[in-house]
Structure 1
């Protein structure tokens, strides 16, 4: 009898964990935590393991809360799109009340945890949730400028790590913010290009011109160039304590050029396969760039 109960419980628990990961977008949240940790390592004079754990846990809670609120707000629209129809709320596996409870609990846990590091970190985390859920999410069906607004909370994590380590906001975390801010545009527009038909089913306006045309592709190229320029600015010694050696800057420049090549190819071909390659290149770029920054500091 006990064995039968355990067997029945196991799938239910597994499904609940899977739905929790889905409602918080675990993979996205982990990538955001990675950015925060990279920022912390760049800012820290001495690495404290407890602070790193607090940042990782608090960061996951804040991102998870934002995603849960987002899925509550967009539940009806999610049901219209193929890629989101099987999410916990539109599929009926999770109630709106449960999702809201998860979002509220994660918000409280996130703010309290980040406050243990310092008040500025908690403040920026709270601002990120507010912008994502109260400004970016409603704008997605109104105007393509939603991507511009969404780039602000999306760029906070890299900066947040530095603030968590130093309790200071200045040119250093500002530069980290700008790198990830400009990166958001080619990344999300490439994704929006791939998923344009599905986004239109939900009424989302994600591409800057509203079309998969040369105008959108040209803007992707422009923002990729800005991202690349800002990424190597610390090599010129004008960003305070945030420094970058010449060899590291060359590596980052070459990685950025790879991404720029894909952006130009999208301008030429304007197809979903090229957009997908650009999107994957952007994910590789932001991860490898942060790794290069951290390695460069410690060697």
Structure 2
């Protein structure tokens, strides 16, 4: 029974922590951060990569533990979530809170020290949005879906900034691709769970505005085409080859989104959701492959901030090579006469 505390068996403790962390979701989030890391225009560094992946994983685990804490009373009302660890009392709330705090502190420290401060700030910001905005907003306003899409867009920025230390137009395009992907993905998932969401009092799109749910799905499927085939190569995130190679994937996403828009039912929503799970890793792999043919000299030492001794160099946002500054300021000593 859910009212009885379950005795924690040490050999099952790891499994329980994985459930508290929502390990499948955490793996997905970490994979998008890794994708952002691989897209950064710089040489691969193993220690920075490890810090990025581990730090992102720990912060995601913390955010999901906070989500369990905040939603436990409502999870008990939904068939899909009735077996979660706090609902069945496998952990006390204090235990879960301690886990959330420990993983947040360690994840932030690893990102701050092993990568750079901007990556750590993005990570803790994302935790705050997920636990402090998205999770409580689900019970009060339809805007929770847009807040959740922002949460999904930040991890690839973390991976990219872990290498470059800057946020430029290229990585903003990458984040926007992840942002738009969230709508076909979540709308396809949530459509068949409308009864559960309604019983728990969640004001998500599929419950409060079914027409808007259908419209946003097809709008963002269209947006993905423009982002991948126009914005990505223009911002130098990818090559024009990717613009062409991504068209089949985006065409299928648009087709399935259109079928869901025209006839939203269990079959079309489930098909759309399942394809969205396939779409994300494939589009990220295509991006990485598209950059493999570039001149290695374009990437070399791009993340080095030290200026050249003779000419002040600057990086144009989204560019792959340094250009001389149009203004070279030299300070001359002032001559005085006594």
1:107 aligns with 2:104: yes
Report if aligned partners of 2:229, 2:240 keep a CA contact under 8 Å in 1. Answer: no
Residue segments in structure 1 that go unaligned for 5+ positions in a row: 1-10
Q: Name the structure 2 match of 1:60.
A: 57
After TM superposition, give the deviation of residue 26 of structure 1 in Å. Answer: 0.6
Correspondent of 1:227 among 221, 224, 237: 224
How many residue pairs match? The answer is 285
Report if aligned partners of 2:218, 2:257 keep a CA contact under 8 Å in 1. Answer: yes
After TM superposition, give the deviation of residue 227 of structure 1 in Å. Answer: 2.1
Q: Name the structure 2 match of 1:282.
A: 276
Instruction: Evaluate the alpha carbon distance shift between residue 134 and residue 215 of structure 1 in structure 2; reply closer, same or farther with a 3 A threshold.
Output: closer
Please give the secondary structure, in 1, of the residue aligned with 2:208.
coil
Q: Name the structure 2 match of 1:210.
A: 208
Correspondent of 2:71 among 65, 71, 74: 74
CA RMSD between the two structures: 1.6
After TM superposition, give the deviation of residue 283 of structure 1 in Å. Answer: 1.4
**Aligned pairs for 1:256-275 within 5 A:** 256-275=250-269
Q: Name the structure 1 match of 2:137.
A: 139
Report if aligned partners of 1:209, 1:215 keep a CA contact under 8 Å in 2. Answer: no
After TM superposition, give the deviation of residue 44 of structure 1 in Å. Answer: 4.3
Q: Name the structure 2 match of 1:170.
A: 168
Please give the secondary structure, in 1, of the residue aligned with 2:220.
helix
Worse overlay, 181-190 or 124-133: 181-190
Report if aligned partners of 1:54, 1:113 keep a CA contact under 8 Å in 2. Answer: yes
Please give the secondary structure, in 1, of the residue aligned with 2:80.
coil
After TM superposition, give the deviation of residue 208 of structure 1 in Å. Answer: 5.8
1:154 aligns with 2:148: no
Could you list the structure 1 runs, at least 4 aligned residues long, displaced by more than 6 angstroms after superposition.
none
Based on CA coordinates, which of the two structures has the bigger radius of gyration?
A: 2
After TM superposition, give the deviation of residue 221 of structure 1 in Å. Answer: 0.5
Report if aligned partners of 1:266, 1:275 keep a CA contact under 8 Å in 2. Answer: yes
After TM superposition, give the deviation of residue 245 of structure 1 in Å. Answer: 3.1
Deviation per CA, 1:143-188, whole angstroms, max 9, x where unpaired? 1110011111111011211111100111011111111111111111
After TM superposition, give the deviation of residue 224 of structure 1 in Å. Answer: 1.2
Report if aligned partners of 2:174, 2:232 keep a CA contact under 8 Å in 1. Answer: no
Residue segments in structure 2 that go unaligned for 5+ positions in a row: 1-7, 294-338
Worse overlay, 129-138 or 37-46: 37-46
Q: Name the structure 2 match of 1:294.
A: 288
